[in-house]
Amino acid sequence: MTPRRHATREPRIAALHPMPRKPGRPAYVPTEKDRATVKTMSAFGIPDYEIARVIALDPKTLRKHFWTELEVGHVEANAKVAASLFKKATGDGREAVVAAIFWLKCRAGWRERPATDDLGKKEQRALEAETAERGTSWESLLEPASIRLQ
């Protein structure tokens, strides 16, 4: 039996290419510029798939290499806005009142009472049930509805 010819060629081909070739694109290496871009866009609330389009990456590759920037970017932006709002809310003037009301609605659960003219029958009955004690002898015994709602 004669030896196969292609079996003798393999060592010569391996000698020409000492490193095995990997198919596909080369591995992505993130740059500091890309990291800053991803963090900024994440802070602005731009979705991952749109950030990936700007950086020219697949969304999976973006999440693989930039997960920290995606997670931290929007949190740092929220902290800056909250600090600015808090500074305004604790200041003086009209701007401070508006900021304080917004802060209390979002953080302290405050809400505005709807005008009774705009309410339907069911909503009016519900509001009347909440404030039924007003003007009666029970008013002094029961805690106000505003305290119960908080």
pTM over 0.75: no
Handedness of CA 87, 90, 94, 100 (dihedral sign): positive
91 in a domain, yes or no?
A: no
136 in a domain, yes or no?
A: yes
52 in a domain, yes or no?
A: no
Three state DSSP letters for 111-124: CCCCCHHHCCHHHH
The structural domain count of the chain equals 1
Residue 28 CA to residue 56 CA, distance in Å, equals 11
82 in a domain, yes or no?
A: no
Q: So what's the pLDDT on residue 134? A: 67
Q: So what's the pLDDT on residue 139? A: 64
124 in a domain, yes or no?
A: yes
Q: So what's the pLDDT on residue 14? A: 52
Question: Domain span at residue 145?
Answer: 115-150
The DSSP result for 34-90, as a single string, is HHHHHHHHHHTT--HHHHHHHHT--HHHHHHHHHHHHHHHHHHHHHHHHHHHHHHHT
145 in a domain, yes or no?
A: yes
Mean of pLDDT values over 32-59: 94
Query: How does pLDDT run across 46-101, given as a tens digit for each residue?
Result: 999 999 999 999 999 999 999 999 999 989 998 998 899 899 889 888 888 888 88
150 in a domain, yes or no?
A: yes
Torsion of the alpha carbons at 138, 143, 146 and 147, rounded to the nearest 10:
-170
122 in a domain, yes or no?
A: yes
Query: How does pLDDT run across 107-147, given as a tens digit for each residue?
Result: 887 777 666 667 788 887 887 777 766 666 666 666 655 55
